[in-house]
Amino acid sequence: MTRTTLFTDVQVFDGTGRDPFPAQVLVKGDRIAQIADSVSRDRRTEARVIDGGGGTLLPGLVDAHTHLGFGSTVEHRSPRRDEPLEEKALLVAHAGRVLLDHGITSAYSGGNRQPRTETAARKAFDEGWMPGPRLKAASWEGSAGMVEPGVYDFPGVDGRASDPESVARFVTEMAELGVDIVKLSLSGESAVVQGTSRIVQFTDEEVAAASATARKHGVWLTAHAHAAESVKMAVRHGIRAVYHCTFADEEALDLLEAARGRLFVAPTPGIIHANLHESGSEPEPGMEVEATAKAVREVVPELVRRGIRVVPGGDYGFAWNPVGRNLRDLELFVDWFGFTPAEALRAATQHGGQVMGMGDELGLIGPGFLADLVLVDGDPLADIRILQDRHRLTAIMKDGTLHKAPA
């Protein structure tokens, strides 16, 4: 028999950004079957009824930049990040469950040194025998010269020959592992190697080779791009998701605006906040943290003004920025970037479904959409911070199956 669930006495935030409205929501199987003032008795027969108590029903939330393989969650701290494959697989599975516990029903990976652990977790999450979000799995972060994963010195392109063949080979190898996303570090990262965030790491020819190879194998490209020129390079070559965009100049902003229908930007405020306030001695002082925070607060409102889809995902998974804090991004979207709570939620739902490549069936509460739903005790449009309290998430559903039911 098809499982059926009926949510009653809820205020529905449907993901479009419009005001919540009172309704009943009927779920049959893995899809939303009906949204109505009152579902008829014949349609609610044998349904499990969940009384929302006047709470808010949201589409499942989407994180566009999280690292399941970094190993740290709000329940478990793993500062190493170099665990063997077998342990890494368990850490990825654990992080996936923690994400789902916190209302994240879909995740777009920000990279994994051992990508086969993510493709295995994606399969387990999809089949439902292991709790976790629907997942777009990613490669490790390709860097200049395509050295082994985790070895980043970010030397830039000066003094080395362009090597498009090795870049194409890297994309091919990652695609053959079954990832959905290949990630390229088009700029350095000052939080890893001081002063490198503004240094471009790939030649134009190399990114062109990566783009052509990705199209051939049917995978997406993500760019780690702080430097203005790295952002421009990403847009010129059709990269789909651009992380950071920190030091984008006017030319980069114009290119992003022209391509706004096909790309997404995740500015990662979560890791910046953590670097400022919670990192201790890591990253080291002087790593452009203050400059990064100032720049991103200036660039994101301009991205929004130009109609570019900005999505949450704050580089979660580090020991000082663990998985489970992900929804702090929504608070920072409001406090740092001037989003309304409704706009922040739309970024995490409707735009989240789009970044997952499933905008026609994910990210909205509508008939025929996948039944990824989160019931909140309270009104996150009045206080977006309540989403960070997992105890206020009274029901969490993915694919029509309750991961968490009300007590």
Cα–Cα distance, 191 to 63 (Å, whole number): 22
Fold for the domain defined by 4-59+364-404: Urease, subunit C; domain 1 (2.30.40)
3-state helix, strand, coil in the chain (%, to 5): 35, 25, 40
**Kind and range of the H or E element at 224?**
strand 220-225
Please state, for a pLDDT cut of 90, what percent of the chain lies above it. Answer: 82
Given the structure tokens 């779920």, which residue do they identify? Answer: 27
For 340-365, the pLDDT digits (tens) are 999 999 999 999 999 999 999 999 99
Q: Please provide the CATH number assigned to the domain covering 61-326.
A: 3.20.20.140
Cα–Cα distance, 238 to 234 (Å, whole number): 6
- The one-letter amino acid code at 101 reads D
Q: Where are the domains of the chain?
A: 4-59+364-404, 61-326
Domains 4-59+364-404 and 61-326 share a fold: no
* pTM of this structure: 0.95
Query: Which residues, 6+ apart, have CB-to-CB distance to 22 below 8 Å?
Result: 9, 10, 11, 12, 37
For 240-296, the pLDDT digits (tens) are 999 999 999 999 999 999 999 999 999 999 999 999 998 765 655 456 888 999 999
For 188-226, the pLDDT digits (tens) are 888 888 888 999 999 999 999 999 999 999 999 999 999
- In eight-state DSSP terms, residue 372 is -
For 69-94, the pLDDT digits (tens) are 998 999 999 877 778 889 999 999 99
Task: Give the pLDDT of residue 288.
Answer: 83
For 296-337, the pLDDT digits (tens) are 999 999 999 999 999 999 999 999 999 999 999 999 999 999
Q: Is beta strand 393-398 parallel, antiparallel or unpaired with respect to 241-244?
A: unpaired
Contact 96, 125 (CB under 8 A): yes
Q: Is the pLDDT of residue 40 over 70?
A: yes
Task: Give the pLDDT of residue 224.
Answer: 96
DSSP structure string for 25-71: EEEETTEEEEEESS--HHHHTTPEEEE-TT-EEEEPEEEEEE-GGG-
